[in-house]
Amino acid sequence: MSLDHGRMLALLEDARLSLLLGVLDGDGEETRIVGGAVRNALVGRHVHEVDLTTTAPPDVTRARAEAAGFKVVPTGLAHGTLTVVVKGEPYEVTTLREDVETFGRHAVVRFGRDFAADALRRDFTINALSLDAGGKLHDYAGGVADLAAGRVRFIGDARQRIREDYLRILRFFRFSADFARGDLDAEGFHAAIVEREGLAILSRERVRAELLRLLTARRAAEVVATLSQAGVLGRLVGGIGDTARLARAAAAERDAIGRLGALAVFSRDDAERIGETLRLSNAERKRLDAYARLIERLHDAAAPVDPVEIRRLVADHPPAAVGDALAALAGEPRPVIAPDALDALAPYEAEPGRVPTLPLRGSDLIAAGVPKGPAVSAAMARARASWLARGCPMGKEARAALLEVATLEAGGG
């Protein structure tokens, strides 16, 4: 892979970043762009955020930034990290560090002034690159060659790197899925398998974040299949995974939750278990539950899923969950998905407010003579069943027809 050094140097052309570097540098201190911004720019990827590392201790960084009129937030002061906001743009600035002692997710560190030592305590060679204000790229671990070759390697001994932070097992698979080509690095893969028991000490929230980022990576389906074969996936989701469904969900560009459902949800019990295991939000849990109900319903469907059936589905389930289910099940014996079904679904996913709703209320039935209480509930249920059967029509005529059906069957006016 050819690397784009011009795009990397373009990072320094940002006026806000240039201003910040000018404020922080000088009087023996140096600040550099580090990590993901340099890596992504070199391979032509979008740079989401720019992180900096500096020789200056946090108090000096803070004093210089505030003197320049920048807002400073102590987001990780114990680890030497401040967030400096320059004209609305936040930059994380971290003082160079050296590890004194590491154990699992925690480390005892001291501030340092050695860029090489700071780089070599990082996880992967491709994350240890830094760019100084003069445009010189610094590579202490062979990250440039690994980026060009499509390799993701731990810095130094892979097992030791993992023991310092067991989250690096998941990061190894995630970065491999995003940046590597071909087989996973053999040493890193072996170390991840051997050290997988360490995953148990990680918080569920951290596992959730890494797993969802893995599922949206470029080679997610391929790498997750390897992770499953290695016996790691079951430790994350508490069950097996369907990598064929994941591949289809990825091809359909479903988001992380859609891909999680495709991979690991086969029933409502699965949805509930995964929601608890990964500490998903209530909205995410509801979506997985809806997905589980949908795949059960669609697997039993004899008729094709056409635009009329799409209206019925979105009337009963969130449009995003309908999209998730159709993407995961595409190509399986059931359901048969009509060519125009996905086009019919797209407007509902884009604007959930367009989803058809039953044009009848309980108060309408009471006004028409249906007795209050159970009779109204029963009449509404019949009206909804009739409405769904008719393809969820809307408007005054549809309302009148439903009112007639409900009141006649209820013995009302």
pLDDT tens string 241-292: 999 999 999 999 999 999 999 999 999 999 999 999 999 999 999 999 999 9
pLDDT in tens, 180-204: 999 999 999 999 999 999 999 999 9
Give me the pLDDT at residue 413, please.
44
pLDDT at 235 over 80: yes
pLDDT at 103 over 60: no
Q: What is the average pLDDT score of the chain?
A: 93
- The residue with tokens 């909205």 is 283
Question: 86 CB contacts (<8 Å, ≥6 apart)?
Answer: 16, 17, 19, 20, 70
Q: Are strands 51-54 and 81-86 parallel, antiparallel or unpaired?
A: unpaired
Give me the pLDDT at residue 135, please.
97
Residues in a beta bridge with 92? 51, 83
Range(s) within the chain of domains with CATH label 3.30.460.10: 1-149
- Please compute the mean of the pLDDT values over residues 155-170 and round it to a whole number: 96
Q: Which fold has domain 1-149?
A: Beta Polymerase; domain 2 (3.30.460)
Give me the pLDDT at residue 184, please.
96
Q: Are strands 106-111 and 31-34 parallel, antiparallel or unpaired?
A: unpaired
Q: At what angle do helices 307-316 and 374-389 cross, to 10 degrees?
A: 150
When pLDDT is cut at 50, 70 and 90, the band that residue 143 belongs to is very high
When pLDDT is cut at 50, 70 and 90, the band that residue 179 belongs to is very high
- Please compute the mean of the pLDDT values over residues 70-80 and round it to a whole number: 91
When pLDDT is cut at 50, 70 and 90, the band that residue 343 belongs to is very high
pLDDT at 100 over 50: yes
Q: Please give the share of the chain, as a percent, with pLDDT higher than 70.
A: 96
pLDDT at 217 over 90: yes
When pLDDT is cut at 50, 70 and 90, the band that residue 405 belongs to is confident
- Please compute the mean of the pLDDT values over residues 287-309 and round it to a whole number: 93
